[in-house]
Amino acid sequence: MATRPRTLGEWLSWAERQYARHQLALGQVATSAHDEALYLLLRTLDLPLDSKPAVLRKKTTAEENTRLAEVFRRRIEEHVPAAYLTREAWLGEHRFYVDERVIIPRSYFLEIIPQLAELFGCRAGSLTPPRSTRRQKGGISDPALQGIRLPTVKRAVDVCTGSGCLAILLAHQFPAAKVDAIELSTDALAVAKFNVATHRLATRVKLHHSDVFDAVPRVKYDVILSNPPYVPTRELRDLPAEFRNEPTMALDGGRDGLDIIRKLLRQSRERLQPHGVVVLEVGGLRAAMDRAFPELDLHWMHTMDGEDCVCLVQAHRLQAWRG
Ligand SMILES: C[S@@+](CC[C@H](N)C(=O)[O-])C[C@H]1O[C@@H](n2cnc3c(N)ncnc32)[C@H](O)[C@@H]1O
């Protein structure tokens, strides 16, 4: 560093230049270098995330400069994801502990779970979707789902729970529901256990060490939800370093990306209430999913950025399916 920044604003400008110069990958914590660098600055110095812009005029002490230099060195030179440096990730207003044992939560389910609540006719939970996602195409106003009104959610499951984040969102959204959370990695399960305890949900969210449903007691669910690994194996090596720093097991979906999804859909046939739904986040695999499972009549749910990479399958479609 030629001349060391002396204020937070100078640190921010310097960091933004470094992000561009070193082509750091974004998308795990924020989608712009400005937002991610500002987040790292504030968190590293224990300043509130909603600090006013005037905070940028704050002069940094020698000790703070040393801390910031080390954090940005690891982010820039080692491509360590920002969330692993701060040991936290946010979905909406919900904070989760994360470290290298789990993928960093960044799921569309923050938008989708409130839509499920509308489908199930319950609004009691505490997950408020961004205002702009309400009443859009998708959810209950979607013609394909209109007229469907399902009973209250009593049992839900998050398959491939990682940090436990989606099981926890489900439990917050459906306060009367029992929630199971399934995970094959014992490392990830330890993180999920910590997060469930921190959210004071240990009596309602039960963790299971299992390969999909293999070791889970046979109960029937109203909602089966999953953000499974879905990256085709050959594409893993082309991911930016930041994403390769996440557990391979959280990303690797096998030859065509559909290995876990196929198993999950097959096993869901016996795990779903007659009125139940399976909801899956599948990244860029929409076309592959439609090709692989035409009989399931997958319904693609709308998301704010138009990616529409979450699909819903109804129980009767699964029952009729011969896959
Ligand atoms: C894409 S991550 C999703 C984690 C979390 N649900 C989220 O949205 O942040 C997929 C998770 O599935 C787990 N996993 C991989 N194979 C599995 C399997 N066969 N059965 C259960 N979990 C599995 C991985 O360890 C990883 O934690």
HEC string of the chain? Answer: CCCCCCEHHHHHHHHHHHHHHCCCCCCCCCCCHHHHHHHHHHHHCCCCCCCCHHHHHCECCHHHHHHHHHHHHHHHHCCCCHHHHHCEEEECCEEEECCCCCCCCCCCHHHHHHHHHHHCCCCCCCCCCCHHHCCCCCHHHCHHHCCCCCCCCCEEEEECCCCCHHHHHHHHHCCCCEEEEEECCHHHHHHHHHHHHHCCCCCCEEEEECCCCCCCCCCCEEEEEECCCCECHHHHHHCCHHHHCCCHHHCECCCCCCHHHHHHHHHHCCCEEEEEEEEEECCCCHHHHHHHCHHHCCEEECCCCCCCCEEEEEHHHHHHCCC
pLDDT digits (tens, 9 = 90+) for 86-128: 999 999 999 999 999 999 999 899 999 999 988 887 544 444 4
Q: Could you tell me the distance, in angstroms and rounded to a whole number, from the CA of residue 197 to the centre of ligand 1?
A: 19
**Ligand 1 atom closest to Cα of residue 109:** 8
**pLDDT at residue 127 in the model:** 43
231 touches ligand 1 (CB under 6 Å): no
Domain 89-320: what homologous superfamily?
Vaccinia Virus protein VP39 (3.40.50.150)
Residue of 112, 160, 191 best suited for mutating to test ligand 1, as the one with most atoms within 8 Å of CB:
160
Q: Could you tell me the distance, in angstroms and rounded to a whole number, from the CA of residue 13 to the centre of ligand 1?
A: 37
Nearest CA to ligand 1 atom 12: 160
The residue among 277, 302, 299 whose CA lies nearest residue 144 is: 299
- The two beta strands, 155-159 and 221-226, are parallel
Q: Which amino acid is at 319?
A: Q
18 touches ligand 1 (CB under 6 Å): no
212: region left, alpha or beta (phi > 0 left; psi from -120 to 50 alpha): left
Q: Give the torsion sign (CA, 116, 96, 30, 290).
A: negative
d(CA 171, CA 153): 10
268 touches ligand 1 (CB under 6 Å): no
Give the chain's end-to-end CA distance (angstroms, integer): 58
Residue 134: pLDDT band with limits 50, 70, 90: very low
**pLDDT at residue 150 in the model:** 66
Residue of 106, 184, 212, 233 best suited for mutating to test ligand 1, as the one with most atoms within 8 Å of CB:
184
Residue 4: pLDDT band with limits 50, 70, 90: confident
d(CA 174, CA 193): 19
Nearest CA to ligand 1 atom 18: 211
105 touches ligand 1 (CB under 6 Å): yes
112 touches ligand 1 (CB under 6 Å): no
- The two beta strands, 88-91 and 94-97, are antiparallel
Residue of 103, 163, 212, 263 best suited for mutating to test ligand 1, as the one with most atoms within 8 Å of CB:
103
Other Cβ atoms closer than 10 A to 205: 25
pLDDT digits (tens, 9 = 90+) for 143-174: 555 555 667 899 999 999 999 999 999 999 99
**pLDDT at residue 169 in the model:** 97
Proportion of the chain above pLDDT 70, given as a percent:
90
Q: Could you tell me the distance, in angstroms and rounded to a whole number, from the CA of residue 158 to the centre of ligand 1?
A: 10
Query: Could you tell me the residue ranges of all domains in the chain?
Result: 8-86, 89-320
This prediction has a pTM of: 0.91
Q: Could you tell me the distance, in angstroms and rounded to a whole number, from the CA of residue 17 to the centre of ligand 1?
A: 35
Asked whether 71 and 129 are in contact (CB, 8 A), the reply is no
**41, two tokens:** 């600055």
- Please work out, in degrees rounded to the nearest 5, the angle formed at the alpha carbon of residue 306 by the alpha carbons of 163 and 313: 65
Nearest CA to ligand 1 atom 19: 211
Query: Average pLDDT, stretch 175-189?
Result: 97
**pLDDT at residue 265 in the model:** 98
- Please check the confidence at residue 5 and state whether its pLDDT lies above 60: yes
